[in-house]
A and B are shown apart, each in its own frame.
Chain A
Amino acid sequence: MSARLEVENLRVAYGASSAVAVDRLVVEPGTLAAVVGANGAGKSTLVNAIANWSRAEPRVEGAVRMDGENIAGRPAHQLVKRGLQLVPEGRGVFMGLTVEENLRDGAPSAAGLSRKTYSIQNVYQLFPRLGERRSTQGGSLSGGERQMLAVGRALRMAPKALLLDEPSIGLAPRFVSLLLQTIRALVDSGLTVLLVEQNVRAAMEVADVVHLLERGRLIASGPVDEMRDDPRIVEAYLGGGHE
């Protein structure tokens, strides 16, 4: 059984400066892998490069494979159709569209898809708050609701692999654990998730595997139980989580 996501010799650069240099990163199907590290470690860059998406113009080289198939360099909207979904950091919803509109359009037709699909009702079941506010504009939602909507939008694309870029930013701790528990439940029912998080503690509560990124390089990887006691992770607690 091939890995859901496989990254090999990935090099990402902005202009002349190298942002990410990862030799190998593997995410097994049905697992939740967390990528942690301090601010500026390159976590967002890494995950954006995997999805071949960015708000800037980085140079990306290297191999990215999903289920054994090379997907590097393909346009982002095609990757979405193949089941790779990214929930980007910051703006992940359309402010000018209502909750319902954000969820409604763009979803692939369920017919012929071998993946698990999520209807709008499914999303409302997962996030009841969104159901209550379905006619509200994206711009009028709270930060936590927007993040739920962003995840909901991603789920509507019937992803095989979901990449989450710092979903906890700006959210109240209660919201953070609620969101991550929901993600964990999705993983338990078969979804593969690569979670980028600055909040190391919260990430390790739901992850199966943890990868530590520092200055664009992967310096430690392992099952969450092993990594918990790793001194470098402890350092990341102290170094990365500025309260």
Chain B
Amino acid sequence: MNLLQQVVNGIIIGHAYALVAVGWTMLLGAARLVNFGHGQMYMVGAFAAWWFMRMTGLPYPVAVVAAILVGALIGAVMQRLLMRLTLSRDLVSLMIVTLGFGQMLEGAAGLTFGPRPQTLASPFQSMTLHFGAIWFTVQDVILVVAAIVVFLALRLLLNATKFGTAVRMVAEDPALTRLAGIDIARVYMGIFAFEGAAVAFAATLVAPRTPILTSMGFDQVVTTFVVVVLGGIGSVAGSYVAGLSLGLFTALFGALVSPAYTTAAVFALLIAVMALRPGQLAASANFAR
């Protein structure tokens, strides 16, 4: 068994986890909102790209952009629906609404795209690169690079732009942000749209690896949740490191123990962390760092 290959796999998967989680971590850190529809939004992102390619015949990169736009739109729709609840900080109802929203997406996707597994065909998926004992695809490289770019860009956005500062203000104290003359509804809109766009983007890059089904997405919620918790809620750098670590963990676990029970193993890891560091689930003071 090629350990080095597993490490490479782990790094690749880790970047996938981090990228899938980045929108969620923003949403949770800035708006205290748990998006239970995250998995379904991932699924829709993948299918949107697939459907777009099928309908228009346009190449994969264009489909990726289209999926990102669809994702942002879904995020915006969510924000409109949830605005009143978000402003009244009724976090419990917000959570359940996202669960319902996820069901709606699943139903709509099933109706639109059908129950059969499909393949999101990226030309880069079949381009393999070999370096001695290890190999990976160009798709993997794109995934890793994209994840790094997104994280750096987000870090820059949050710390060096006006909108980023507004996001940090809203994350800390929405009421006070209003006094600073900022329309917090618009800030939330940006955050929600980012979540939609980011998860769709992640989906288009990761989905070409396996067949896609409209019933998929659940495992994504668990791994995303673990990444966010391990990394510290709302911490950008933390999510990246946590994603990477988790990727290595699942790759090695899958290779050394059992590939089928990785989700269970990830969950067990989460429990262990929670038991050892109960404060991990509190909102991090390192928001956006």
Contacts and interface: CB of A to CB of B under 8 A. Distances in A.
Interface string B153-193: 00000000010011011011101101111111000000000
Given A96-B285, A96-B287, A97-B165, A106 B181 contact: yes
Interface in A32-56: 51, 53-55
Nearest to B159: A101
A242 interface: no
B180 A105 contact: yes
Size category of the binding interface on chain A: 20 to 34
Contacts of B168: 94, 96-97
A91 B176 contact: yes
Contacts of A97: 165, 168-169, 172
Contacts of B88: 57
A106 B285 CA distance: 22
Main secondary structure of the interface of A (DSSP, over half): loop
Interface stretch (A74-82, A118-126, A176-184, A227-235): A74-82
Interface in A75-129: 75-77, 80-81, 85-86, 88, 91-92, 94-97, 101, 104-108
Contacts of A105: 162, 165-166, 169, 180
Contact of B181 (A55, A57, A81, A104): A81
A77 B183 contact: yes
Nearest to A56: B175
Contacts of A80: 178-181
A211 interface: no
A157 interface: yes
Interface string B82-107: 00000010000000000000000000
B181 A94 contact: no
Contacts of A53: 175, 178-179
Contacts of A81: 181
Contacts of A146: none
A55 B179 CA distance: 11
B156 to A, nearest CB: 15
B172 A96 contact: yes
A-B CB proximity, top 4 nearest: A80-B181, A106-B180, A76-B178, A105-B165
